[in-house]
Structure 1
């Protein structure tokens, strides 16, 4: 094995192999077109670099340019299904501008989070995407202000950073409108834990549509399932055991819808013939495999990731994006439960 394959190939190695000066190699490999280099020399340098397997030193280049072509993405659980969608949307959008993501998982630990952001800054990332796996207010460490930063699926309570979040209220409207369009007038609602943004927004959309249809809100038809399948089962059981039970149930997430399916079938009722069900999230491992397939409102994680990078790129380019919140539409996905 030769020396040049045992260690990183340098510009000096390329210069010796091509029979030119190191300065000429630097000009060619850094594409310095303002310097006059004969095409024959340029071709010889590029051929030597390819033959030796030369790779540029990204760290040195970042120091020289004060620019790395990397964005940092920070999230608490990179293996969560929704985080994967955010990452895909962000990376696909970054590639349009020949940028790449450095991804750091924080596991919801503030100390790890600060250390992760510090490490990304050491790598000279041009900006940060801070992504949460569920919609909520967050507090970022002060060092995040050293570079342009955009929040995805979360927001800064102090309003210091631009944020991209799902349009929870409109999503709640879409689900309720779909059930009304199917002829249902008595619609139960199984909500998440109260006061979190998703619960507030989805309930608000539900109430708005009922009011517009001239249907009075009924507190007996609103119950919390605490975001779990077990909670959805208990909540649906309580709704179905009412003297005047609902003919449709809007569940504020797909896990609760899964529990509601069990409660409905346990009573010998059929979906959607006796009771219609709509979920929220479009969690593929649930919505796509329940029988019948679950009609649900999708959280636009991939779109939010892409839009977050688009806003970040604009900030880095000096465009004024402000620190407002951008909401992204939550589309209704039809399957067979309505």
Structure 2
């Protein structure tokens, strides 16, 4: 399929080729009506037109840098793994990544338009997804762009989207526990209503609804979005872990199934260590699982399992796709990456 031309845009928008050229040239001072300019740009986006001058500049650009927009600390292993994957994916294509510390998304857009960067990657979290203003700027200026963990891969946005299949992680864990004879599951989850938590909780309900021999109870950890922000600012989790241990101890008093048939499934991998230490002090037969990888190595803890999300692979795939869009005008990539069961 041939790449759309200026004439294609002109015919679709009902204007002259000259008008299209003026509308798409950021430096043009030709007095074109704003309504007409907006219509032409919308049509150009819809049919995937990229100005030849922009395509040439992207191929010849020497910056070879992709900006990464992240407002979470890299001390968090989750985001460190994603950024490491981004670096690896960019390096495989001969590019590098640079972390944008400013939350001003406009500066990243300006850096791409000015030639300092070749593209942008946005790393989502919780319900923090691509801001509307950033998505609009990316579309308006045909910026090579990718989003990670924004819950949009199945919606096919007009840019690269790489997401994680949280529901598949739940299915893997529940299937293993059922095969191991578990009959009672306590789901340990934060008091957050993020996209990932909604997906996990619904998947847990669906998985156990199909297994009437297994019961489900929910233990909320007390972590809200506000408390999570405080943890990230201070790095002090001691009080929270003590609180979680107390909640678990109270929950254990209500457990009526034998330890060998009882499992505690943690939505957060970071909770696994506290849960494991607490429940196995009472009886080493209790099973513990995580829907994300925690700090503990399953090989060192018999019976411990977790669904390992492909964080590094998500970064690698997104970076590679954004670079190829910048360098080769390749189309956007939409991927939902499945986890692996470890342990």
Shorter-chain TM-score tier: 0.5 to 0.7
Which deviates further from its counterpart, 299-308 or 68-77? 68-77
In structure 1, what is the Cα distance between the partners aligned to 2:138 and 2:58? Answer: 20
Matches within 5 A, 1:125-204: 125-132=117-124, 134=126, 136-139=128-131, 141=134, 142-145=136-139, 146=141, 147-155=143-151, 159=157, 161-204=159-202
Contact 2:67 2:108 in 1 (8 A): no
1:288 to 289, 297, 306: 297
Structure 1 residues 166 and 210: alpha-carbon distance in aligned structure 2, compared to 1, 3 A threshold: same
Matches within 5 A, 1:97-116: 97-106=93-102, 110-111=103-104, 113-116=105-108
Structure 1 residues 196 and 332: alpha-carbon distance in aligned structure 2, compared to 1, 3 A threshold: same
User: Do residues 259 (structure 1) and 274 (structure 2) align?
Assistant: yes
SS of residue paired to 2:323:
helix
User: Do residues 68 (structure 1) and 63 (structure 2) align?
Assistant: yes
SS of residue paired to 2:84:
helix
Q: CA deviation at 1:280?
A: 2.6
Structure 1 residues 136 and 165: alpha-carbon distance in aligned structure 2, compared to 1, 3 A threshold: farther
SS of residue paired to 2:120:
strand
Q: CA deviation at 1:169?
A: 0.4
Kindly provide the CA deviation profile for residues 236-266 of structure 1, in whole angstroms up to 9, marking residues without a partner as x.
Answer: 3343121525711111112222222233144
2:308 to 265, 289, 298: 298
Contact 1:287 1:296 in 2 (8 A): no
Kindly provide the CA deviation profile for residues 284-321 of structure 1, in whole angstroms up to 9, marking residues without a partner as x.
Answer: xx223996364211121100001112322343323333
Q: CA deviation at 1:127?
A: 1.3
Structure 1 residues 87 and 121: alpha-carbon distance in aligned structure 2, compared to 1, 3 A threshold: farther
In structure 1, what is the Cα distance between the partners aligned to 2:313 and 2:58? Answer: 32
Contact 1:83 1:133 in 2 (8 A): no
In structure 2, what is the Cα distance between the partners aligned to 1:193 and 1:158? Answer: 29
Kindly provide the CA deviation profile for residues 58-100 of structure 1, in whole angstroms up to 9, marking residues without a partner as x.
Answer: xxxx799345322222212334322221122122222222122
In structure 2, what is the Cα distance between the partners aligned to 1:89 and 1:236? Answer: 35
Structure 1 residues 117 and 105: alpha-carbon distance in aligned structure 2, compared to 1, 3 A threshold: farther
Contact 1:311 1:321 in 2 (8 A): yes
User: With structure 1 as the length reference, what TM-score do the two structures score?
Assistant: 0.66
CA radius of gyration, larger in: 1
User: With structure 2 as the length reference, what TM-score do the two structures score?
Assistant: 0.65
Unaligned runs of 5+ in 1: 1-61
Contact 2:268 2:292 in 1 (8 A): yes
In structure 1, what is the Cα distance between the partners aligned to 2:205 and 2:59? Answer: 57
In structure 2, what is the Cα distance between the partners aligned to 1:243 and 1:100? Answer: 52
Kindly provide the CA deviation profile for residues 15-52 of structure 1, in whole angstroms up to 9, marking residues without a partner as x.
Answer: xxxxxxxxxxxxxxxxxxxxxxxxxxxxxxxxxxxxxx
Aligned to 1:223: 219
In structure 2, what is the Cα distance between the partners aligned to 1:74 and 1:302? Answer: 16
1:326 to 314, 335, 339: 335
1:247 to 257, 262, 272: 262
Structure 1 residues 226 and 148: alpha-carbon distance in aligned structure 2, compared to 1, 3 A threshold: farther
Matches within 5 A, 1:54-93: 65-66=60-61, 68-76=63-71, 77-93=73-89
SS of residue paired to 1:98:
coil
In structure 2, what is the Cα distance between the partners aligned to 1:124 and 1:175? Answer: 45
